């Protein structure tokens, strides 16, 4: 426990000092703010550029959320995975972990501390980004007859933990940052491909990243999200346990 | 009592057998030199002692407790200094020792007390800059400080002096010598003068096995023989000298090199007696007569031959 807390403090400091958190935070915030503005002003920009183009419909608040989910599930989480893809490989290549582990720091504590810190920083960035989109959306549009806005955001957030668990396994298995990221990307791609197979699609955590907008617009109901969310959480915990198990057998 | 016992340890990387049924005991309170050429398997052995590498076979006991790969229980008795220690570059020495202290579970006051003591032991008490800007020698000294923070019973240093300049080397050896009263020190090296300077025990690692082990005096007595060099002014003197009857038995263990004759024996007194008698009788005057003590170097070369 001592080791876990001490190493967690070290991880926090490190993510501040090497600008990982600042970059992650900036990416989430910029893309969140942009979501609302782009949705609002894209038609005007387009008509300014091409005068003969007529926009058939006025942008609505839902368009802002469409942008938000596209940006965060794409760019935001990609940035998250790329930034934290080096969280173990740096320590392997430099040999800094050896001194910690030979002091009696348990390997479990190393993985748990890294996971906790990465998850916390992602959570902070994510929800501040969410708040920014929410704030600007309600500023730019007065019609707020959208439902389950928080629930939709929460479901994507849950997937963030799953991505991080997969990344941790990748980081433990591979010594290079690039391969860990590639591994995570590959597994995520497999999950989304499985989302197309009809009979099991309704259990797939992929729903949590693809149907958020439907939930807000009322085309989907919260009940559809319960099982995928549950499965996502179970898989995250399971993934983390696998990462710890593999790390215990890793030759440092 | 032995602080470290290794029994029948083996380890291969692929088809290459690095460590082959190695047996080694390090007695408590000793300064133990672990000698071997580059690539002999010194680091591999140490990493297995620390549970960082998985042995193929054999057992390791630290303070009579078995070492398990991937587990860190026995590491509480050990302080470890790798050959090139790496730290978190953005920290200062104080911050790094604080992290180490928290990992071990020391109280705040204990951490600051020990950090002060250790940093002054390794003469880094004035260093407030980030570790990233440290020289190799400074990192090595900080490495010793962090290794001693746990107040270990056994300090394992992997070639602590190999990469350092003469000043840095002297500093490290002085520190190791200073702490040898309270901590057993096991250090690997291929620099034999370092061993002769501070070690009381040593082991030679060759082809995955311990070729020789014991106290320095024992090793020298057991495996070294004294040698005597005779240099003649002309080859005919040498040939004439060799033909003398009382010299013939001495030539069994000898080498010839140009006009030099090197005699090896464990009983140098008798060799000298007959040698001087012959020289006086024949009137041969060598240009040089030198008695050579066994050195670790000659031993080392003998062992790795």
Suggest the residue from A1, A99, A246 to mutate for an interface test with chain B (most B CBs closer than 10 A): A99
Which residues in chain A come in under a pLDDT of 50?
A: none
When CB atoms are compared, the residue of B70, B85, B90 closest to A107 is B70
- Yes or no, beta carbons of A102 and B52 under 8 Å apart: yes
- Chain B residues with CB-CB distance to A under 8 A? 50, 52-54, 69-70, 72-73, 75-76, 78, 80, 82, 84-88, 90-91, 99-100, 102-105, 143, 146, 149-150
Say if residues A224 and A202 touch (Cβ distance below 8 Å). Answer: yes
Tell me the per-residue pLDDT of B256-272, one tens digit each, with 9 for 90 and over.
888 888 888 877 788 88
Is the pLDDT score of B15 beyond 70? yes
Question: Chain A to chain B, count of Cβ pairs less than 8 Å apart?
Answer: 81
Tell me the per-residue pLDDT of B89-122, one tens digit each, with 9 for 90 and over.
999 999 999 999 998 888 999 999 999 999 998 8
What is the pLDDT of chain B when averaged over all its residues? Answer: 87
Which sequence spans correspond to the domains of chain A?
Answer: 2-248
Q: How far is CA A231 from the centre of its chain?
A: 17
Q: What percent of chain B clears pLDDT 70, i.e. is strictly above it?
A: 98
* Average confidence (pLDDT) over B15-38: 89
- SS3 category, A218: coil
Residues of B in contact with A105 (CB under 8 A): 72, 103
- Yes or no, beta carbons of B150 and A101 under 8 Å apart: no
d(CA B198, CA B182): 14
What DSSP assignment string belongs to A75-144?
IIHHHHHHHHTTTTHHHHHHTHHHHHHTTT--HHHHHHHHHHHHHHHHHHHHHHHHHHHHHHHHHH----
Helix (H) or strand (E) holding A214, with range, is helix A212-217
A234 or B127, which is more confident:
A234
Is the pLDDT score of B23 beyond 80? yes
pTM for the complete prediction?
0.82
Residues of chain B with CATH 3.40.50.300: 2-222
pLDDT-derived band of residue B240, with 50, 70 and 90 as boundaries? confident
Is the pLDDT score of B172 beyond 90? no
What is the pLDDT of chain A when averaged over all its residues? Answer: 89
Is the pLDDT score of B62 beyond 70? yes
Suggest the residue from B12, B80, B103 to mutate for an interface test with chain A (most A CBs closer than 10 A): B103
Give CA torsion, residues A234, A240, A241, A243, to 10 deg.
Answer: 140
* Average confidence (pLDDT) over B137-143: 89
Q: What percent of chain B clears pLDDT 90, i.e. is strictly above it?
A: 25
d(CA A58, CA A38): 13
- In terms of Cα–Cα distance, which of B251, B72, B178, B118 is closest to A106? B72
pLDDT recorded at residue B46: 92
When CB atoms are compared, the residue of A18, A95, A104 closest to B75 is A104
DSSP state for residue A53 in the 8-state scheme: P
- Yes or no, beta carbons of A18 and B76 under 8 Å apart: no
Give CA torsion, residues A72, A78, A83, A88, to 10 deg.
Answer: 130
pLDDT recorded at residue A51: 65
d(CA B246, CA B283): 15
Give CA torsion, residues A18, A19, A20, A24, to 10 deg.
Answer: 180
- Yes or no, beta carbons of B72 and A105 under 8 Å apart: yes
pLDDT recorded at residue A156: 93
CA B287 to chain A, closest CA, distance in angstroms equals: 56
- Chain A residues with CB-CB distance to B under 8 A? 2-3, 5-7, 9-10, 13-14, 17-18, 94-96, 98-107, 248-252
* Positive or negative torsion for Cα B135, B138, B144, B150: negative
pLDDT recorded at residue A239: 95
Q: How many CB atoms lie within 10 A of CB A44?
A: 11
- SS3 category, B36: coil
What would the two tokens of residue B249 be? 């038995």
Say if residues A66 and A40 touch (Cβ distance below 8 Å). Answer: no
Tally the residues of chain B: 305
CATH class of B2-222: alpha beta
For tokens 């929410």, the residue is A134
Which strands, in side-by-side order, build the sheet including B288-292?
B254-257, B260-265, B226-231, B288-292
- Yes or no, beta carbons of A103 and B100 under 8 Å apart: yes
pLDDT recorded at residue B167: 85
pLDDT recorded at residue A26: 96
Is the pLDDT score of B28 beyond 80? yes
Residues of chain B with CATH 3.30.70: 224-304
Tell me the per-residue pLDDT of A13-48, one tens digit each, with 9 for 90 and over.
999 999 999 999 999 999 999 988 888 888 777 777
Q: What architecture is the B224-304 domain classified under in CATH?
A: 2-Layer Sandwich (3.30)
């Amino acid at each position: 426990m001592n080791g876990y807390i001490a190493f967690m403090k070290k991880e926090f400091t490190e993510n501040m000092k090497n600008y990982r958190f600042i970059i992650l935070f900036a990416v989430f915030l910029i893309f969140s703010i942009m979501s609302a503005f782009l949705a609002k002003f894209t038609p005007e920009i387009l008509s300014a550029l091409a005068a003969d183009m007529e926009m058939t419909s006025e942008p609505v608040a839902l368009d802002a959320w469409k942008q938000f989910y596209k940006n965060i599930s794409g760019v935001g989480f990609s940035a998250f995975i790329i930034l934290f893809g080096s969280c173990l490989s740096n320590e392997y290549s430099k040999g800094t972990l050896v001194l910690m582990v030979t002091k009696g720091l348990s390997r479990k504590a190393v993985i748990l501390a890294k996971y906790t810190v990465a998850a916390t920083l992602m959570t902070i960035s994510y929800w501040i980004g969410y708040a920014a989109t929410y704030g600007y959306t309600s500023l730019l549009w007065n019609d707020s007859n959208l439902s389950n806005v928080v629930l939709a955001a929460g479901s994507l957030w849950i997937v963030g933990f799953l991505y991080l668990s997969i990344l941790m396994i990748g980081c433990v298995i591979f010594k290079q940052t690039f391969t860990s990221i590639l591994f995570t990307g590959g597994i995520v791609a497999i999950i989304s491909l499985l989302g197309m197979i009809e009979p099991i699609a309704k259990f797939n955590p992929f729903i949590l990243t693809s149907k958020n907008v439907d939930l807000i617009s009322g085309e989907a109901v919260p009940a559809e999200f319960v099982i995928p969310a549950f499965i996502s959480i179970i898989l995250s915990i399971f993934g983390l346990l696998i990462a710890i198990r593999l790390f215990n057998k890793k030759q440092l | 009592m032995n602080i470290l016992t290794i029994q029948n340890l083996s380890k291969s990387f692929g088809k290459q057998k690095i460590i082959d049924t190695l047996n080694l005991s390090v007695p408590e309170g000793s300064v133990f030199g672990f000698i071997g050429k580059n690539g002999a398997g010194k680091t591999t052995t140490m990493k297995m002692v620390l549970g960082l590498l998985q042995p193929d076979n054999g057992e390791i006991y630290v303070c009579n407790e078995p070492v398990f790969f991937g587990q860190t229980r026995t590491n509480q008795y050990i302080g470890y200094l790798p050959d090139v220690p790496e730290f978190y570059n953005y920290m200062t020495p104080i911050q790094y020792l604080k992290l180490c202290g928290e990992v071990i579970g020391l109280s705040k006051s204990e951490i600051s007390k020990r950090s002060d003591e250790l940093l002054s032991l390794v003469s880094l008490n004035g260093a407030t800059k980030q570790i990233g800007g440290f020289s190799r020698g400074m990192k090595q000294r900080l490495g010793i400080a962090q290794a001693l923070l746990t107040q270990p019973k056994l300090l394992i240093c992997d070639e602590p002096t190999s990469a350092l300049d003469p000043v840095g080397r002297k500093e490290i050896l002085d520190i190791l010598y200073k702490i040898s009263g309270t901590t057993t020190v096991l250090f690997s090296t291929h620099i034999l003068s370092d061993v002769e300077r501070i070690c009381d025990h040593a082991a030679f690692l060759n082809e995955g096995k311990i070729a020789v082990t014991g106290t320095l005096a024992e090793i020298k007595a057991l495996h070294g023989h004294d040698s005597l060099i005779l240099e003649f002014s002309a080859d005919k003197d040498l040939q004439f000298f060799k033909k003398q009857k009382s010299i013939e038995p001495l030539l069994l263990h000898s080498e010839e090199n140009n006009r030099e004759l090197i005699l090896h024996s464990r009983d140098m007194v008798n060799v000298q007696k007959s040698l001087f008698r012959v020289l006086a009788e024949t009137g041969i005057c060598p240009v040089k007569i030198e008695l050579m003590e066994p050195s670790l170097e000659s031993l080392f070369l003998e062992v790795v031959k």
